[in-house]
Structure 1
Amino acid sequence: MVILTGATLTLEEVERVVLLKEEVSLATDSVRQIQRNREVVEEMLASKQTMYGINTGFGKFSDVIIEEKDLESLQLNLIHSHACGVGDPFSETISRAMLLLRANALAKGYSGVRPKLVMQFIDYLNVGIHPVIPQQGSLGASGDLAPLSHLALALLGEGEVYYDGERMHTGQALKEVGIQPITLEAKEGLALINGTQAMTAVGVMTYLEGRKLLFQSEVVAAMSLEGLQGIIDAFDLDIHYARGHQEQIEVATRINQLVQGSCLVTNQGEKRVQDAYSLRCIPQVLGACWQTLNYCKDKLEVEINAVTDNPLIFSEQSKVISGGNFHGEPIAFAMDFLKLGIAEAANISERRIERLVNPQLNDLPPFLSPNPGLESGAMIMQYSAASLVSENKTLAHPASVDSIPSSANQEDHVSMGTIAARHARQMLQNTRRVIAIELICAMQAVEYRGIEKMAKRTREYYEEARKVVPSITQDRVFASDIERLTQWLTEKSEFKIRDKGGVIYDQG
């Protein structure tokens, strides 16, 4: 059971709730704080104080005072008018993450909603109702207005949701589970959609998958090192300690552990003096990729426990303050930075693929073909990898450097953080396919060299992957192999290496 307080949620708990469907509850202290916060809103309404978004219009309409009899309509109109997202919907995984993160933000007790509203989120999480939320339409400032409006529709019994493996009208799902839709009161519509939970949900799930993929890329790189009889001296830890980047040191340590005992790797001068950079510089490049991931992790850990609403209600001082915590710039920067790491992991992987298939760069069969000339082998797999890498380069352009004014120039600078997060996730999927292609080629290369000469750990990985994709004995439709192996990489989680008594490599 994960207990939401608004301040203590961890990335590991997000993973448990989103992927393992662990149940959620609301901390008792949070219930009390939310209630106190709500009472301040009601007191201020009773005293006829003017409060943005509570008894005024929104955005450019902030100077329009709303009559008391229209306050509930104001909130409902807000949700209806802002639910204009477009494009394919987010996955159920992302939708579930958005529910969790929005509930946690409201649990902090600064948003002026009733406890009942937060419990609606938790009920949806616990029964597995996930709103259908279009991916496109957010500027990433004033919050993820369009995506979060579609999330809010589901709380009202409107729109569509995923439930029990089916896409259906929300009312049908609520009827099946016995949950009543909620009716919004003053401030609550605005509290639902002012926030960064779309970009942050995409960011968190991309980070979690990216962490696993970088570990996997190291295993595959180690197998390529064996298939190309790479020089192990370049991974001597003295080199990496001399530079001092911790992530680089850790990658070099893991590669050494992965190829320990291998008869396929070589020593300096045995076959050549130096390897190409795509082999020799694996720790330097992937270490830097880990740095982008770690920076992203730091920002996400703050944001999943952040208050990103506007205005904020401070119950102890009985004050309502308008600010800009909804602006997504911190996450926009983090996701744009992460994109560089994702892109470079694919870039260097594709260069190793080229070295594995190009007969001018190795002594393996041309294009790893079982019958070169008559059969093309892995020739076009390298094309596909190159295409994915090139697409990543266009997606890597930073979204956060763009801004388009909105709401009659009241909202005159926006982050485009949700675009950055979406592109990072798309790049991750592209990179996973590149890694899958490298793995197909590396497995073929070590077979040619002799799998009995492999290191114990890479041999274990080889044998598992061979259950998914068989050896290339003749040309076939390799697209199916790539997709099966990509799915295997997506689902595979358990692979550990121990060093000096502690786990240093852990996909679990």
Structure 2
Amino acid sequence: MIYGAHQFTLPDILKVLKDPSQASLDSDAKRRIQASAQNVRSIVDSDRTVYGINTGFGPLCDVKISEQQTAQLQHNLIISHAVGVGDPIDKCTSKLMMIAKIHALSKGFSGVSLEVVERMQLMLNLDIIPVIPSQGSVGASGDLAPLAHMVLPLIGLGKVWQNGNVVASQQVLSAHNLEPLKLGPKEGLGLINGTQFILSNALIGLEKMGYLLDVADLAAAMSLEAYQGSASPYREELHQIRPFAGSIEVAARMRRLLQGSQNLTSHQDCSRVQDPYSMRCVPQVHGASRNAFYHLRDLVETELNSVTDNPIVLSDQEAISGGNFHGQLLAIAIDYAKIAAAELGNISDRRSYLLLEGKFGLPRLLTESSGLDSGFMIPQYTSAALVTENKALCYPASADSIPTSLGQEDHVSMGSISSRTFNTVLDNLVSILAVELMFAAQGIEFRRPMKCSDLVERNFEIIRRKVPKLEQDRLIGEDMQAIAKLITSRSLEVAF
């Protein structure tokens, strides 16, 4: 893959994240970068006034900066904007920010020198990854504070990750015989103006959500087996007459997950007319979440292959001051996907609740000695608490805006908050689905000797290798954690 030329997809960037050598700068990319830097130099030499090249920033755009001060201007920009707070983002997200920034700069519209881009690429290859605080971006005029922290090691400041520890950048640079760089005209602005913080958090979230959508389908299938519900709501002809892509896909997955189930066919002529919504409407609810996932994925891949800084340098005569840094194009869709992820947890909790009611051959609280034993009563409390926490996190940050920069930046996206809370919702969803899988496996025990579908049986065995049937009360919190680990380690068989 070639930076600046290749149209990166989500799988592509995950490959580069795993192995940065998968992407490189070819001669065309280097030529574009050098030409853009030369265009900036020509503008400086011409003494024309261009925002961010020889002016101050934000409300200081009316302050002209001399040619002799342009380098100091860029240095000052970085150190004054590195004001993030909160816990650092994880190292993978920091790496994604670097990869996405290199890709954007390599398109040749940002005026950043080849030396800077190659240093960032070298840092990736040497695993010199900046420590970036999680809070402080309003998601417009670029993710200024997070990106400023990303840039600090380039100029010998800030901190980086080393063997899981936080160390001074200068210490690591010296160990690799690397001197701090001196930024030229517009380079600081080109580096910190952009949406790479929002984008990278969204990429991490999408990678999680894609798998959790599949896990949610499995959990629903196992719950239906435990409940001895009906598979007829998943019939193909039902969904062809309301042909939303997500619901068609989920219905097909549910048919595959339930195919050949002796347990379900054993009672298909029973007196139950229809199941509660959480069992019956899985294609519609999970399908809506899949639609949101695909929408966000399409937008993120567009953003990943875009130039999002300001001004955009088109030639040695023209630099356009625009708004490509504004995060709203992602922020709204991230909030939408966040709601979609939360709804997977909401309906999962409802299925868990149904399995505890003691109906249709299942004992109350899924234990035969309820009373003396509490059984699975309290894990549903945990699930309910997480579902409500996710609802609170679903407040759309993109619906808010607080003016900054003395009103020069009077509408901001807050997409950085959307993208961070998106990942928190997904992390909570893991535990919610773990509870449902634990309940469903226990419920299936009471349907023996009848067999479930092959896929459900295989996943049942994966769970049982870590978590045995509950015979009497024990530390089932540890069971929940074991199943959550099966999810996060991608040990369940959900791809088919």
TM-score by length of 2: 0.96
Query: 1:127/1:237 Cα in 2 relative to 1: closer, same or farther (>3 Å)?
Result: same
After TM superposition, give the deviation of residue 467 of structure 1 in Å: 2.4
After TM superposition, give the deviation of residue 486 of structure 1 in Å: 1.7
Does residue 279 (structure 1) correspond to residue 279 (structure 2)? The answer is: yes
2:128–2:161 CA contact under 8 A, matched in 1: yes
Query: 1:246/1:340 Cα in 2 relative to 1: closer, same or farther (>3 Å)?
Result: same
After TM superposition, give the deviation of residue 452 of structure 1 in Å: 5.4
Specify the code of the residue in structure 2 equivalent to 1:420: S
- Pairing 1:18-417 to 2, within 5 Å after superposition: 18-19=17-18, 23-266=22-265, 269-315=269-315, 318-359=317-358, 361-417=359-415
Equivalent residue for 1:427, pick from 416, 425, 431: 425
Specify the code of the residue in structure 1 equivalent to 2:294: N
Distance 2:405 2:305 in 1: 28
After TM superposition, give the deviation of residue 483 of structure 1 in Å: 2.4
1:161–1:169 CA contact under 8 A, matched in 2: yes
1:356–1:362 CA contact under 8 A, matched in 2: no
After TM superposition, give the deviation of residue 158 of structure 1 in Å: 1.4
1:6–1:106 CA contact under 8 A, matched in 2: no
After TM superposition, give the deviation of residue 493 of structure 1 in Å: 6.2
Q: Which residue of 2 aligns with 1:500?
A: none
Gaps in structure 1 of 5+ consecutive residues: 497-504
Query: 1:493/1:143 Cα in 2 relative to 1: closer, same or farther (>3 Å)?
Result: farther
Q: Secondary structure at the match of 2:313?
A: strand
After TM superposition, give the deviation of residue 68 of structure 1 in Å: 2.0
Distance 2:19 2:454 in 1: 31
Specify the code of the residue in structure 1 equivalent to 2:297: K
After TM superposition, give the deviation of residue 370 of structure 1 in Å: 4.8
Q: Secondary structure at the match of 1:97?
A: helix
Q: Secondary structure at the match of 2:405?
A: coil
Q: Secondary structure at the match of 1:4?
A: coil
Deviations 1:50-97 (A, max 9, x none): 111111100000000112222111111111111111111111111111
Distance 1:19 1:469 in 2: 31
Query: 1:45/1:255 Cα in 2 relative to 1: closer, same or farther (>3 Å)?
Result: same
Deviations 1:295-352 (A, max 9, x none): 101100100011001011113x631111110000110011011012101111110000
Specify the code of the residue in structure 1 equivalent to 2:410: D
Distance 1:232 1:212 in 2: 23
Q: Secondary structure at the match of 1:265?
A: helix
After TM superposition, give the deviation of residue 394 of structure 1 in Å: 1.0
After TM superposition, give the deviation of residue 211 of structure 1 in Å: 0.6
Deviations 1:128-158 (A, max 9, x none): 2221111111100000001111101122221
Specify the code of the residue in structure 1 equivalent to 2:225: E
Distance 1:387 1:6 in 2: 46
Distance 1:451 1:259 in 2: 17
Specify the code of the residue in structure 1 equivalent to 2:352: I
Distance 1:129 1:474 in 2: 51
Query: 1:484/1:179 Cα in 2 relative to 1: closer, same or farther (>3 Å)?
Result: farther
After TM superposition, give the deviation of residue 271 of structure 1 in Å: 4.4
Q: Secondary structure at the match of 1:135?
A: strand
- Taking every aligned residue pair, what percent have the same amino acid on both sides? 42
Distance 2:485 2:193 in 1: 35
Distance 2:229 2:216 in 1: 16
Q: What count of residue pairs does the alignment treat as equivalent?
A: 495
Distance 2:292 2:341 in 1: 9
1:40–1:313 CA contact under 8 A, matched in 2: yes
Distance 1:307 1:493 in 2: 38
Q: Secondary structure at the match of 2:24?
A: strand
Distance 2:69 2:150 in 1: 23
Q: Secondary structure at the match of 1:88?
A: strand
Distance 2:374 2:121 in 1: 54
Query: 1:20/1:272 Cα in 2 relative to 1: closer, same or farther (>3 Å)?
Result: farther
Distance 1:102 1:483 in 2: 36
1:5–1:27 CA contact under 8 A, matched in 2: no
After TM superposition, give the deviation of residue 160 of structure 1 in Å: 1.1
Q: Which residue of 1 aligns with 2:444?
A: 446
Distance 2:282 2:192 in 1: 43
Deviations 1:211-243 (A, max 9, x none): 110011111111111000010111111111121
After TM superposition, give the deviation of residue 388 of structure 1 in Å: 0.6
2:245–2:291 CA contact under 8 A, matched in 1: no
TM-score by length of 1: 0.94
Query: 1:480/1:156 Cα in 2 relative to 1: closer, same or farther (>3 Å)?
Result: farther
User: Bigger CA drift: 255-264 or 15-24?
Assistant: 15-24
Distance 1:466 1:161 in 2: 41
After TM superposition, give the deviation of residue 269 of structure 1 in Å: 4.2
User: Bigger CA drift: 170-179 or 389-398?
Assistant: 170-179
After TM superposition, give the deviation of residue 170 of structure 1 in Å: 1.4
Q: Secondary structure at the match of 1:453?
A: coil
Specify the code of the residue in structure 2 equivalent to 1:226: E
User: Bigger CA drift: 231-240 or 295-304?
Assistant: 231-240
User: Bigger CA drift: 96-105 or 264-273?
Assistant: 264-273
After TM superposition, give the deviation of residue 268 of structure 1 in Å: 5.1
Gaps in structure 2 of 5+ consecutive residues: none
1:111–1:313 CA contact under 8 A, matched in 2: yes
Provide the alpha-carbon RMSD of the alignment.
Answer: 1.7
After TM superposition, give the deviation of residue 172 of structure 1 in Å: 2.1
Distance 1:441 1:413 in 2: 47
Distance 1:484 1:116 in 2: 48
Specify the code of the residue in structure 2 equivalent to 1:454: C
Distance 1:118 1:272 in 2: 65
Deviations 1:244-270 (A, max 9, x none): 112211111111111111122246542
Distance 2:449 2:73 in 1: 68
1:346–1:431 CA contact under 8 A, matched in 2: yes
2:462–2:492 CA contact under 8 A, matched in 1: no
Q: Secondary structure at the match of 2:262?
A: coil
Distance 1:331 1:341 in 2: 15
Query: 1:233/1:188 Cα in 2 relative to 1: closer, same or farther (>3 Å)?
Result: same
1:24–1:122 CA contact under 8 A, matched in 2: no
After TM superposition, give the deviation of residue 20 of structure 1 in Å: 5.4
